[in-house]
Structure 1
Amino acid sequence: MCYIAILENYSLFCSGIKSVLEDTGECDIVFESKTISDFLNKLKANKPDIIIIDIIHCLDEGISTIKKIRRKTSRTPILLVVSTDYSDFFEEYISLGVNGFVFNDSEAENLSHAIKSLKNGEDHFPPRVWQLLKRYLQTKKINATYEDKKILTNRELTILKLFCKGYTYKEIGAKLNISPRTVESHKKNIQTKISVRSTAEMVEFAYQNNLH
Protein backbone atom coordinates (compact mmCIF):
# COMPACT_ATOMS: atom_id res chain seq x y z
CA MET A 1 0.00 0.00 0.00
CA CYS A 2 1.24 3.51 -0.90
CA TYR A 3 0.32 6.28 1.54
CA ILE A 4 -0.44 9.65 -0.05
CA ALA A 5 -0.72 13.21 1.30
CA ILE A 6 -2.44 15.83 -0.86
CA LEU A 7 -2.18 19.63 -0.78
CA GLU A 8 -5.03 21.03 -2.85
CA ASN A 9 -7.15 24.16 -2.42
CA TYR A 10 -10.15 22.92 -4.37
CA SER A 11 -12.14 20.04 -2.90
CA LEU A 12 -13.62 19.01 -6.25
CA PHE A 13 -10.20 18.72 -7.85
CA CYS A 14 -8.90 16.83 -4.84
CA SER A 15 -11.83 14.44 -5.03
CA GLY A 16 -10.84 13.63 -8.59
CA ILE A 17 -7.28 12.78 -7.53
CA LYS A 18 -8.52 10.69 -4.60
CA SER A 19 -10.93 8.80 -6.81
CA VAL A 20 -8.24 7.88 -9.32
CA LEU A 21 -5.81 6.75 -6.62
CA GLU A 22 -8.33 4.82 -4.56
CA ASP A 23 -9.59 3.00 -7.67
CA THR A 24 -6.15 1.44 -8.06
CA GLY A 25 -6.59 -0.37 -4.75
CA GLU A 26 -2.93 0.33 -4.03
CA CYS A 27 -3.14 3.80 -2.51
CA ASP A 28 -4.42 5.20 0.76
CA ILE A 29 -4.91 8.94 1.33
CA VAL A 30 -3.46 9.52 4.82
CA PHE A 31 -4.48 13.18 4.84
CA GLU A 32 -5.38 16.14 2.65
CA SER A 33 -5.06 19.88 3.26
CA LYS A 34 -6.17 23.10 1.66
CA THR A 35 -3.47 25.28 3.25
CA ILE A 36 0.25 24.86 3.68
CA SER A 37 0.05 25.53 7.44
CA ASP A 38 -2.49 22.75 7.94
CA PHE A 39 -0.46 20.47 5.70
CA LEU A 40 2.73 21.00 7.69
CA ASN A 41 0.90 20.38 10.97
CA LYS A 42 -0.50 17.09 9.71
CA LEU A 43 2.89 16.15 8.29
CA LYS A 44 4.28 16.13 11.83
CA ALA A 45 2.02 13.24 12.81
CA ASN A 46 1.97 11.37 9.50
CA LYS A 47 4.65 9.95 7.23
CA PRO A 48 3.29 9.69 3.69
CA ASP A 49 5.15 7.81 0.99
CA ILE A 50 4.35 10.48 -1.59
CA ILE A 51 3.21 14.11 -1.46
CA ILE A 52 0.95 15.46 -4.22
CA ILE A 53 0.68 19.23 -4.66
CA ASP A 54 -1.71 21.01 -7.00
CA ILE A 55 0.76 23.76 -7.90
CA ILE A 56 -1.73 25.55 -10.15
CA HIS A 57 -3.66 26.92 -7.18
CA CYS A 58 -0.66 27.88 -5.04
CA LEU A 59 0.69 31.37 -4.46
CA ASP A 60 4.00 32.40 -6.11
CA GLU A 61 3.80 29.39 -8.44
CA GLY A 62 4.25 27.13 -5.42
CA ILE A 63 7.92 27.96 -4.87
CA SER A 64 7.54 28.90 -1.20
CA THR A 65 5.21 25.94 -0.61
CA ILE A 66 7.75 23.46 -1.94
CA LYS A 67 10.54 25.05 0.08
CA LYS A 68 8.51 24.82 3.30
CA ILE A 69 7.71 21.16 2.70
CA ARG A 70 11.29 20.35 1.82
CA ARG A 71 12.46 21.87 5.11
CA LYS A 72 10.26 19.33 6.91
CA THR A 73 11.00 16.33 4.74
CA SER A 74 13.87 16.22 2.28
CA ARG A 75 13.33 12.66 1.09
CA THR A 76 9.58 12.17 0.63
CA PRO A 77 8.90 12.25 -3.14
CA ILE A 78 6.89 15.24 -4.33
CA LEU A 79 4.58 15.00 -7.34
CA LEU A 80 3.28 18.26 -8.78
CA VAL A 81 0.05 18.73 -10.71
CA VAL A 82 1.02 21.36 -13.29
CA SER A 83 -0.07 22.96 -16.54
CA THR A 84 2.02 24.05 -19.51
CA ASP A 85 1.67 27.64 -18.27
CA TYR A 86 4.15 26.77 -15.51
CA SER A 87 6.94 25.58 -17.81
CA ASP A 88 9.11 28.60 -16.93
CA PHE A 89 9.33 27.17 -13.40
CA PHE A 90 10.08 23.53 -14.24
CA GLU A 91 13.81 24.06 -13.84
CA GLU A 92 13.36 25.60 -10.39
CA TYR A 93 10.89 22.92 -9.28
CA ILE A 94 13.41 20.22 -10.15
CA SER A 95 16.23 22.09 -8.41
CA LEU A 96 14.05 22.23 -5.26
CA GLY A 97 13.79 18.46 -5.23
CA VAL A 98 10.49 17.80 -6.95
CA ASN A 99 10.41 14.22 -8.23
CA GLY A 100 7.68 14.28 -10.82
CA PHE A 101 5.05 16.19 -12.78
CA VAL A 102 1.57 15.28 -13.91
CA PHE A 103 -0.25 17.66 -16.25
CA ASN A 104 -3.74 18.72 -15.22
CA ASP A 105 -5.12 17.54 -18.57
CA SER A 106 -3.57 14.06 -18.28
CA GLU A 107 -5.52 10.83 -18.30
CA ALA A 108 -6.09 9.03 -15.00
CA GLU A 109 -3.62 6.32 -15.95
CA ASN A 110 -0.83 8.91 -16.12
CA LEU A 111 -1.38 9.77 -12.46
CA SER A 112 -1.34 6.10 -11.51
CA HIS A 113 1.85 5.54 -13.49
CA ALA A 114 3.48 8.55 -11.82
CA ILE A 115 2.63 7.20 -8.36
CA LYS A 116 4.09 3.79 -9.19
CA SER A 117 7.29 5.39 -10.49
CA LEU A 118 7.79 7.48 -7.36
CA LYS A 119 6.92 4.55 -5.09
CA ASN A 120 9.67 2.54 -6.82
CA GLY A 121 12.20 5.30 -6.19
CA GLU A 122 12.12 6.65 -9.74
CA ASP A 123 11.38 10.15 -10.99
CA HIS A 124 8.44 10.82 -13.28
CA PHE A 125 8.97 13.53 -15.91
CA PRO A 126 6.87 12.94 -19.06
CA PRO A 127 8.36 13.77 -22.50
CA ARG A 128 6.26 16.95 -22.63
CA VAL A 129 8.13 18.23 -19.56
CA TRP A 130 11.50 17.93 -21.30
CA GLN A 131 10.15 19.51 -24.49
CA LEU A 132 8.84 22.53 -22.59
CA LEU A 133 11.95 22.74 -20.42
CA LYS A 134 14.23 22.60 -23.46
CA ARG A 135 12.28 25.40 -25.13
CA TYR A 136 12.48 27.51 -21.97
CA LEU A 137 16.23 26.93 -21.53
CA GLN A 138 16.90 27.79 -25.18
CA THR A 139 14.95 31.02 -24.83
CA LYS A 140 16.70 31.75 -21.55
CA LYS A 141 20.10 31.21 -23.19
CA ILE A 142 19.26 33.51 -26.11
CA ASN A 143 18.00 36.21 -23.75
CA ALA A 144 21.09 35.91 -21.58
CA THR A 145 23.29 36.04 -24.65
CA TYR A 146 21.43 39.10 -25.87
CA GLU A 147 22.29 40.85 -22.64
CA ASP A 148 25.97 40.25 -23.38
CA LYS A 149 25.90 42.99 -26.00
CA LYS A 150 25.80 45.47 -23.11
CA ILE A 151 29.30 44.47 -22.06
CA LEU A 152 30.76 45.21 -25.50
CA THR A 153 32.31 48.61 -25.96
CA ASN A 154 31.28 50.85 -28.87
CA ARG A 155 34.54 50.02 -30.64
CA GLU A 156 33.96 46.30 -30.17
CA LEU A 157 30.42 46.60 -31.53
CA THR A 158 31.76 48.47 -34.56
CA ILE A 159 34.37 45.79 -35.21
CA LEU A 160 31.80 43.04 -34.74
CA LYS A 161 29.55 44.63 -37.37
CA LEU A 162 32.45 44.94 -39.81
CA PHE A 163 33.30 41.26 -39.39
CA CYS A 164 29.66 40.53 -40.18
CA LYS A 165 30.08 42.38 -43.46
CA GLY A 166 33.02 40.16 -44.37
CA TYR A 167 35.84 42.64 -43.90
CA THR A 168 39.34 41.31 -43.16
CA TYR A 169 41.61 42.36 -40.29
CA LYS A 170 43.51 44.64 -42.65
CA GLU A 171 40.36 46.23 -44.10
CA ILE A 172 38.85 46.84 -40.67
CA GLY A 173 42.13 48.35 -39.48
CA ALA A 174 42.19 50.70 -42.45
CA LYS A 175 38.61 51.83 -41.87
CA LEU A 176 39.19 52.50 -38.17
CA ASN A 177 42.74 53.77 -38.54
CA ILE A 178 44.15 51.04 -36.28
CA SER A 179 46.57 48.19 -36.93
CA PRO A 180 45.38 44.68 -37.92
CA ARG A 181 47.00 43.44 -34.71
CA THR A 182 44.78 45.78 -32.69
CA VAL A 183 41.76 44.52 -34.61
CA GLU A 184 42.76 40.97 -33.70
CA SER A 185 43.07 41.97 -30.05
CA HIS A 186 39.57 43.49 -30.08
CA LYS A 187 38.21 40.35 -31.72
CA LYS A 188 39.67 38.15 -28.98
CA ASN A 189 38.08 40.38 -26.34
CA ILE A 190 34.71 40.15 -28.10
CA GLN A 191 34.91 36.37 -28.29
CA THR A 192 35.81 36.11 -24.61
CA LYS A 193 32.93 38.37 -23.57
CA ILE A 194 30.27 36.53 -25.57
CA SER A 195 31.78 33.06 -25.01
CA VAL A 196 32.42 32.00 -28.60
CA ARG A 197 35.52 30.45 -30.16
CA SER A 198 35.39 31.18 -33.87
CA THR A 199 34.61 34.00 -36.27
CA ALA A 200 31.62 32.02 -37.52
CA GLU A 201 30.18 31.73 -33.99
CA MET A 202 30.84 35.42 -33.39
CA VAL A 203 28.97 36.38 -36.56
CA GLU A 204 26.15 33.98 -35.70
CA PHE A 205 25.87 35.64 -32.28
CA ALA A 206 25.63 39.05 -33.95
CA TYR A 207 22.82 37.93 -36.28
CA GLN A 208 20.91 36.21 -33.48
CA ASN A 209 21.02 39.39 -31.44
CA ASN A 210 20.50 41.88 -34.25
CA LEU A 211 23.95 43.40 -33.85
CA HIS A 212 25.00 43.13 -37.49
Structure 2
Amino acid sequence: MCKVAILDKFVLFAAGIQSILDKSEGCEVIVQAVDCNDLFKQLKNGAPDVIIFDVIHGENSGMKQIKKIRRAYSEIPVLLILSQNYSDCFEEYIRLGVKGFVFNDATGDDLVKAIKRLHAGGEFFRKKVWDIFKTSLQKRKYSKKKVENLTEREVAVLKLFSSGLTYKEIGARLSISPRTVESHKRNILSKLKINSTADMVRYAFHHNILS
Protein backbone atom coordinates (compact mmCIF):
# COMPACT_ATOMS: atom_id res chain seq x y z
CA MET A 1 0.00 0.00 0.00
CA CYS A 2 1.38 3.41 -1.01
CA LYS A 3 0.77 6.08 1.62
CA VAL A 4 0.10 9.51 0.11
CA ALA A 5 0.14 13.07 1.43
CA ILE A 6 -1.77 15.78 -0.46
CA LEU A 7 -0.71 19.42 -0.25
CA ASP A 8 -3.39 21.68 -1.72
CA LYS A 9 -4.42 25.14 -0.66
CA PHE A 10 -8.05 24.43 -1.52
CA VAL A 11 -9.76 21.63 0.40
CA LEU A 12 -12.26 21.07 -2.41
CA PHE A 13 -9.54 20.19 -4.92
CA ALA A 14 -7.72 18.02 -2.36
CA ALA A 15 -10.97 16.16 -1.77
CA GLY A 16 -11.21 15.48 -5.50
CA ILE A 17 -7.71 13.99 -5.54
CA GLN A 18 -8.50 11.91 -2.46
CA SER A 19 -11.70 10.64 -4.08
CA ILE A 20 -9.70 9.36 -7.06
CA LEU A 21 -7.17 7.63 -4.82
CA ASP A 22 -9.84 6.14 -2.55
CA LYS A 23 -11.28 4.36 -5.59
CA SER A 24 -7.91 3.04 -6.69
CA GLU A 25 -6.08 -0.06 -5.54
CA GLY A 26 -2.85 0.34 -3.65
CA CYS A 27 -3.07 4.00 -2.59
CA GLU A 28 -4.07 5.40 0.79
CA VAL A 29 -4.26 9.11 1.65
CA ILE A 30 -2.88 9.61 5.16
CA VAL A 31 -2.42 13.40 5.11
CA GLN A 32 -4.36 16.27 3.57
CA ALA A 33 -2.68 19.65 4.22
CA VAL A 34 -3.33 23.22 3.11
CA ASP A 35 0.23 24.56 3.52
CA CYS A 36 3.73 23.44 4.48
CA ASN A 37 3.30 24.16 8.18
CA ASP A 38 0.16 22.04 8.22
CA LEU A 39 1.93 19.32 6.21
CA PHE A 40 4.96 19.16 8.50
CA LYS A 41 2.76 19.09 11.60
CA GLN A 42 0.79 16.13 10.30
CA LEU A 43 3.87 14.27 9.07
CA LYS A 44 5.08 14.01 12.66
CA ASN A 45 2.49 11.24 13.00
CA GLY A 46 3.98 9.24 10.15
CA ALA A 47 5.67 9.90 6.81
CA PRO A 48 4.01 9.12 3.45
CA ASP A 49 5.62 7.33 0.52
CA VAL A 50 4.72 10.12 -1.93
CA ILE A 51 3.78 13.79 -1.55
CA ILE A 52 1.38 15.29 -4.11
CA PHE A 53 1.62 19.06 -4.42
CA ASP A 54 -0.93 21.08 -6.40
CA VAL A 55 1.32 23.81 -7.81
CA ILE A 56 -1.54 25.47 -9.69
CA HIS A 57 -3.09 26.56 -6.41
CA GLY A 58 0.24 27.27 -4.73
CA GLU A 59 2.08 30.59 -4.48
CA ASN A 60 4.89 31.83 -6.73
CA SER A 61 4.88 28.66 -8.84
CA GLY A 62 5.30 26.60 -5.67
CA MET A 63 9.08 27.07 -5.56
CA LYS A 64 9.24 28.14 -1.93
CA GLN A 65 7.07 25.23 -0.78
CA ILE A 66 9.02 22.69 -2.82
CA LYS A 67 12.31 23.89 -1.34
CA LYS A 68 10.88 23.57 2.16
CA ILE A 69 9.63 20.05 1.50
CA ARG A 70 12.89 18.92 -0.05
CA ARG A 71 14.92 20.33 2.84
CA ALA A 72 12.74 18.68 5.47
CA TYR A 73 11.91 15.40 3.71
CA SER A 74 14.42 14.89 0.91
CA GLU A 75 13.83 11.12 0.93
CA ILE A 76 10.12 11.43 0.02
CA PRO A 77 9.43 11.79 -3.73
CA VAL A 78 7.34 14.79 -4.74
CA LEU A 79 4.73 14.68 -7.53
CA LEU A 80 3.47 17.98 -8.91
CA ILE A 81 0.05 18.72 -10.36
CA LEU A 82 0.47 21.58 -12.83
CA SER A 83 -0.33 22.92 -16.29
CA GLN A 84 1.75 23.74 -19.35
CA ASN A 85 1.67 27.37 -18.22
CA TYR A 86 4.43 26.41 -15.79
CA SER A 87 6.80 25.23 -18.54
CA ASP A 88 9.34 27.94 -17.70
CA CYS A 89 9.68 26.32 -14.27
CA PHE A 90 10.13 22.71 -15.41
CA GLU A 91 13.92 22.73 -15.28
CA GLU A 92 13.98 24.35 -11.84
CA TYR A 93 11.42 21.85 -10.50
CA ILE A 94 13.55 18.97 -11.73
CA ARG A 95 16.72 20.58 -10.37
CA LEU A 96 15.03 20.81 -6.97
CA GLY A 97 14.46 17.05 -7.05
CA VAL A 98 10.80 16.76 -8.08
CA LYS A 99 10.27 13.23 -9.43
CA GLY A 100 7.13 13.63 -11.53
CA PHE A 101 4.58 15.92 -13.17
CA VAL A 102 0.87 15.27 -13.74
CA PHE A 103 -0.95 17.83 -15.86
CA ASN A 104 -4.32 19.20 -14.86
CA ASP A 105 -5.95 17.55 -17.90
CA ALA A 106 -4.68 14.08 -16.94
CA THR A 107 -6.97 11.22 -16.01
CA GLY A 108 -7.33 9.61 -12.60
CA ASP A 109 -5.52 6.58 -14.00
CA ASP A 110 -2.57 8.80 -14.95
CA LEU A 111 -2.41 10.14 -11.41
CA VAL A 112 -2.45 6.68 -9.86
CA LYS A 113 0.15 5.43 -12.35
CA ALA A 114 2.42 8.37 -11.49
CA ILE A 115 2.11 7.76 -7.76
CA LYS A 116 2.93 4.08 -8.12
CA ARG A 117 5.90 4.88 -10.37
CA LEU A 118 7.37 7.23 -7.76
CA HIS A 119 6.63 4.76 -4.97
CA ALA A 120 8.64 2.16 -6.90
CA GLY A 121 11.61 4.53 -7.03
CA GLY A 122 11.09 5.85 -10.54
CA GLU A 123 10.17 9.12 -12.22
CA PHE A 124 7.02 10.16 -14.06
CA PHE A 125 7.50 12.63 -16.90
CA ARG A 126 5.26 12.24 -19.95
CA LYS A 127 6.64 12.80 -23.45
CA LYS A 128 5.10 16.26 -23.70
CA VAL A 129 7.11 17.32 -20.64
CA TRP A 130 10.32 16.44 -22.50
CA ASP A 131 9.01 18.15 -25.65
CA ILE A 132 8.38 21.38 -23.73
CA PHE A 133 11.63 21.00 -21.81
CA LYS A 134 13.65 20.41 -24.98
CA THR A 135 12.05 23.37 -26.76
CA SER A 136 13.18 25.55 -23.88
CA LEU A 137 16.71 24.16 -24.04
CA GLN A 138 16.87 24.60 -27.81
CA LYS A 139 16.42 28.33 -27.36
CA ARG A 140 19.77 28.47 -25.61
CA LYS A 141 23.09 28.37 -27.42
CA TYR A 142 25.68 25.79 -26.52
CA SER A 143 28.92 24.85 -28.22
CA LYS A 144 29.10 21.36 -29.71
CA LYS A 145 31.36 19.08 -27.72
CA LYS A 146 32.50 15.52 -28.18
CA VAL A 147 30.62 12.89 -26.18
CA GLU A 148 33.48 11.18 -24.41
CA ASN A 149 33.60 7.65 -23.00
CA LEU A 150 30.14 6.60 -24.24
CA THR A 151 29.82 3.59 -26.51
CA GLU A 152 27.78 3.79 -29.70
CA ARG A 153 24.98 1.82 -28.03
CA GLU A 154 25.01 4.12 -24.98
CA VAL A 155 24.71 7.16 -27.23
CA ALA A 156 21.73 5.52 -28.92
CA VAL A 157 20.10 4.84 -25.54
CA LEU A 158 20.80 8.43 -24.45
CA LYS A 159 19.12 9.78 -27.59
CA LEU A 160 16.03 7.61 -27.11
CA PHE A 161 15.64 8.54 -23.44
CA SER A 162 15.91 12.18 -24.50
CA SER A 163 13.05 11.58 -26.93
CA GLY A 164 10.78 10.56 -24.06
CA LEU A 165 10.72 6.81 -24.68
CA THR A 166 10.26 4.29 -21.86
CA TYR A 167 12.59 1.38 -21.02
CA LYS A 168 10.27 -1.01 -22.86
CA GLU A 169 10.01 1.22 -25.94
CA ILE A 170 13.78 1.71 -26.10
CA GLY A 171 14.32 -2.01 -25.73
CA ALA A 172 11.94 -2.73 -28.62
CA ARG A 173 13.60 -0.07 -30.78
CA LEU A 174 17.10 -1.49 -30.16
CA SER A 175 16.08 -5.18 -29.92
CA ILE A 176 17.34 -5.50 -26.36
CA SER A 177 15.59 -6.21 -23.06
CA PRO A 178 14.34 -3.42 -20.73
CA ARG A 179 16.81 -4.77 -18.15
CA THR A 180 19.66 -4.21 -20.60
CA VAL A 181 18.37 -0.69 -21.26
CA GLU A 182 18.42 -0.08 -17.51
CA SER A 183 22.03 -1.30 -17.38
CA HIS A 184 23.01 1.05 -20.20
CA LYS A 185 21.33 3.94 -18.38
CA ARG A 186 23.28 3.21 -15.19
CA ASN A 187 26.51 3.22 -17.19
CA ILE A 188 25.60 6.53 -18.87
CA LEU A 189 24.79 8.18 -15.56
CA SER A 190 28.03 6.91 -14.06
CA LYS A 191 30.25 7.93 -16.98
CA LEU A 192 28.73 11.40 -17.33
CA LYS A 193 28.57 11.88 -13.53
CA ILE A 194 24.87 12.80 -13.62
CA ASN A 195 21.93 11.53 -11.59
CA SER A 196 18.68 11.32 -13.54
CA THR A 197 16.83 11.11 -16.85
CA ALA A 198 16.34 14.87 -16.69
CA ASP A 199 20.13 15.29 -16.48
CA MET A 200 20.50 13.03 -19.52
CA VAL A 201 18.10 15.18 -21.55
CA ARG A 202 19.92 18.32 -20.45
CA TYR A 203 23.30 16.80 -21.33
CA ALA A 204 22.12 15.63 -24.77
CA PHE A 205 20.93 19.08 -25.74
CA HIS A 206 23.82 20.95 -24.22
CA HIS A 207 26.20 18.86 -26.33
CA ASN A 208 24.06 18.83 -29.49
CA ILE A 209 24.26 15.05 -29.78
CA LEU A 210 20.67 14.79 -31.05
CA SER A 211 21.46 16.69 -34.24
User: Which TM-score bucket, shorter chain as reference?
Assistant: 0.5 to 0.7
**2:110 is the alignment partner of 1:101:** no
Q: Deviations over 1:136-175 (max 9, x none)?
A: 2222x15x99xxxxxxxxxxxxxxxxxxxxxxxxxxxxxx
Moved more, 55-64 or 40-49: 40-49
The residue matched to 1:53 in structure 2 has which SS? Answer: strand
User: Aligned runs of 1:119-198 on 2, under 5 Å?
Assistant: 119-139=119-139, 141=140
Deviation at 1:45, TM superposition (A): 2.5
Greater than 4 Å deviation, 4+ residue runs:
none
How many Å separate the matches in 2 of 1:136 and 1:16? 32
Show the counterpart of 1:65. Answer: 65
Residue aligning to 2:156: none
Secondary structure of the structure 2 residue equivalent to 1:97: coil
In 2, Cα distance between equivalents of 1:51 and 1:72: 12
Q: Which residue of 2 aligns with 1:45?
A: 45
Residue 76 in structure 1 maps to residue 69 in structure 2: no
Instruction: Tell me by how many angstroms 1:9 deviates.
Output: 1.1
> How many residues are paired up?
143
SS at match of 1:80: strand
User: What letter matches 2:135 in structure 1?
Assistant: R
Instruction: Measure, in 2, the Cα distance between the counterparts of 1:55 and 1:44.
Output: 23
Matched residue of 1:45: which SS?
coil
What SS is found at the alignment partner of 1:68?
helix
| C-alpha displacement of 1:110 | 0.6
What secondary structure is seen at the aligned counterpart in 1 of 2:74?
A: coil
In the alignment, residue 125 of structure 1 is paired with which amino acid? F
Report what 2:118 is aligned to: 118
After superposition, give the CA deviation of every residue in 1:58-93 in whole Å (9 maximum; x if it has no partner): 111111100101111111110000100001001000
Partner letter of residue 17 of structure 2? I
**Distance apart, 1:25 and its partner CA:** 2.7
**Structure 1 residue 14 and structure 2 residue 14: aligned?**
yes
Paired-residue identity, %: 44
Q: Any unmatched runs of 5+ in structure 2?
A: 144-211
Separation (CA, whole Å) in 2 of partners of 1:68 and 1:45: 18
Normalized against structure 1, the TM-score is what?
0.65
How far did residue 27 of structure 1 move?
1.1
CA distance in 1 between partners of 2:40 and 2:27 (Å):
21
Name the CA distance, whole Å, in 2 between partners of 1:89 and 1:44: 30
Letter in 1 for 2:30: V
Cα RMSD between the aligned structures? Answer: 1.5
1:90 is aligned with what amino acid? F
User: Could you say which structure has the higher helix fraction?
Assistant: 1
| Structure 2 Cα separation of the partners of residues 13 and 136 of structure 1 | 30
How far 1:108 sits from its partner (Å)?
1.1
Q: Distance in 2 between matches of 1:64 and 1:44?
A: 21
Uncovered stretches (5+) of structure 1, i.e. residues with no partner: 146-212
Write out per-residue CA displacement over residues 97-143 of structure 1, whole angstroms, 9 at most, x where no aligned residue: 1000000111111101101111111100011110111112222x15x
Q: Which residue of 2 aligns with 1:3?
A: 3
What CA distance in whole angstroms lies between the structure 1 residues aligned with 2:59 and 2:111? 23
Which one-letter code corresponds to 1:26 in the other structure?
Answer: G
